[in-house]
Copies of this chain bind each other. A is one copy, B any other.
Amino acid sequence: MKASQFLITTLKEAPADAEVASHRLMTRAGMVRKLGAGIYNYMPMGLRVIRKIEAIVREEMNRAGAVEMTMPVIQPAEYWQESGRFEKMGPELLRIKDRHDRDFVVQPTSEEVVTDVARQELRSYKQLPRNLYQIQTKFRDERRPRFGLMRGREFIMKDAYSFDRDEAGAKASYQVMGAAYRRIFDRFGLRYRAVAADSGAIGGDLSEEFQVIAATGEDAIVYCPHSDYAANMEKAEALAPAGPRPAPSNPLVRTPTPGKSTCAEVAALLGVPLATTVKSLVLATDTLNEAGEVVKSQVWLLLLRGDHDMNEVKVGKVPGLDQGYRFATVPEIEAHFGCKPGYLGPIGLKQPVKLVVDREVAVMADWICGGNEVDVHLTGVNWGRDLPEPDQVADIRNVVEGDPSPDGKGRLAIERGIEVGHVFYLGTKYSKGMNATFLDEDGKPKHFEMGCYGIGITRLPAAAIEQNHDERGIIWPDAIAPFTVVVCPIGMDRSAEVKAAADNLYMQLLNDGVDVILDDRGERPGAMFADWELIGVPHRITIGDRGLKAGEVEYQHRRDSAPTAVKLADIVAHVKGRLQA
């Protein structure tokens, strides 16, 4: 490609609403342009990146035996009504009426439609296993679209769906996809982790997220540096402490803590470690009648160490809280504790509550908690002596750096990531919901065992940039760069030698199958280099009159701090040596 025939639209300034580096840089590099909230034009430079990502995904999906098809963007609501999602999904499902006032949705994913395809086309066990995928436009009407392509409303997703005869088959299909995803992410040239994720109601361990590592990521990734353990924060287990609970050594004391309503304030006031305090979180569950009215509420008290955070997903798995819970209201709290929030604790309640104790708290001795009286805490609290032994102990907290790894192979570390892929075992959720069956070998209809597998095609460039950029711009890995090599001639219009050498080198690289762009726009060197550093093309060759006299050109990788002089005769081999395999 010659730059003069392409559309390069770099900007000096990022838009005011661009909060993250990828949004700023993709806009400044002319890769995307905002058309509306969460809706973007993919400009020519950005589309090249998207197409390269699509090509890698397509190649590896095909290699893994998946078959590509395309499902409509606008889908009749009847399929979504059949699965129940038309009613269940919130306003992020964009609903439309056509000219005949019939209901449609703009697809956010395609479980319903692909399940319909399966029940129509996959009649026999002989046609299984089968994996169908598409790379298609999706829409989610996010309440607050932001961060450019990171959380847009219209986006491109690769979504694949596997259909198997039985659970063992489905799990094998899931593994095949997991392996394909590893190849895909390896090929992107990004640092990433496949992390165990919560699989919700389905249970088991068949849910993995593919997270691109980036300091600015929204997700916390928990991993063990000494093993291959990795999970997201929701999923990562906090093991029960290994040792026994120490014996009580302090008496129970009512301690005045005027105005100190948080564990941190209390610890500071008393000059003790935060880890000796225990915080009280008050939840409630409601029993509804058939009309959906609340007929009874139950208040729960959760105890966590003062320096730990509650994990909502783990709490949602505690028996009794697993049908949904909410935070208690202030009147509920005052009725049960006789005190306003900030000084709550498990001793001396007005009305009984259900108690859930974190594993860590269950083995603490001589701890500190609220006294159920304003400006008062209790110190030297001990299980068995000051209150009954806890009968419901559970893992309800987020792990922290240094916690033991659940696989017993060291201590956990935490880093940030951006979720760009997800593989998930669905079981029969949709096939039962839509009665999608095949005839098995015994002649009986059985529900498909399904899996679903997504990759956020248009989120990937944003994640890649969050991981790979500097103050000058983007730094693309070779595999997904809009162009792999840029040839920058200096003074091409003044020097016939420079022009000839640049044209010649461009043609050589092109003929060797290198994705090269020749910057023939006639920009001054400063502006030209700034453009390409902003756009992030990984390899640059600069050709100038002075160098040519010595038979030399300059090579610079986007991560190199300075250019290297290379003989013109050697430059093609030199560049090819620097390309990532």
Partner of A42, one of B70, B74, B92: B70
B143 touches A72 (CB 8 A): no
B69 touches A43 (CB 8 A): yes
A143 touches B99 (CB 8 A): yes
This chain: copies in complex: 2
A70 touches B47 (CB 8 A): yes
A74 touches B153 (CB 8 A): yes
B42 touches A137 (CB 8 A): no
* A141 close to chain B: CB less than 8 A: yes
A95 closest partner in B (C-beta):
B96
Interface residues on A, range: 35 or more
B74 touches A154 (CB 8 A): yes
Interface segment, one of A32-40, A242-250, A378-386, A405-413: A32-40
A46 closest partner in B (C-beta):
B69
A117 touches B33 (CB 8 A): yes
Task: Please give, as numbers and ranges, the residues of chain B lying within 8 Å of A42 by CB-CB distance.
Answer: 69-70
* A555 close to chain B: CB less than 8 A: no
- Tell me whether A67 and B44 are in contact in the complex, defined as CB-CB below 8 angstroms, given that A137-B73, A139-B74 are known contacts: yes
* A239 close to chain B: CB less than 8 A: no
* A512 close to chain B: CB less than 8 A: no
In the bound complex, how far is the Cα of B99 from the Cα of A105, in angstroms?
13
* A227 close to chain B: CB less than 8 A: no
B5 touches A39 (CB 8 A): no
Give 22 CB contacts A-B under 8 Å: A7-B67, A7-B69, A7-B121, A30-B121, A33-B120, A35-B116, A36-B75, A36-B76, A39-B74, A41-B69, A41-B72, A43-B121, A44-B67, A44-B132, A72-B154, A73-B106, A92-B99, A94-B96, A94-B98, A99-B141, A99-B143, A137-B137
Top 6 A-B pairs, shortest CB-CB distance: A36-B76, A91-B99, A42-B70, A9-B121, A44-B67, A39-B72
Contacts A74-B106, A94-B99 aside, 10 further interface pairs with beta carbons under 8 A come to A5-B65, A35-B71, A35-B116, A39-B75, A41-B69, A43-B69, A50-B70, A73-B137, A74-B94, A98-B141
Q: What residues make up the interface of A, taking CB atoms closer than 8 Å to B?
A: 5-7, 9, 30, 33, 35-36, 39-44, 47, 50, 65, 67-76, 78-79, 91-92, 94, 96, 98-99, 104, 106, 113, 116-117, 120-121, 127, 130, 132, 137, 139, 141, 143, 153-154
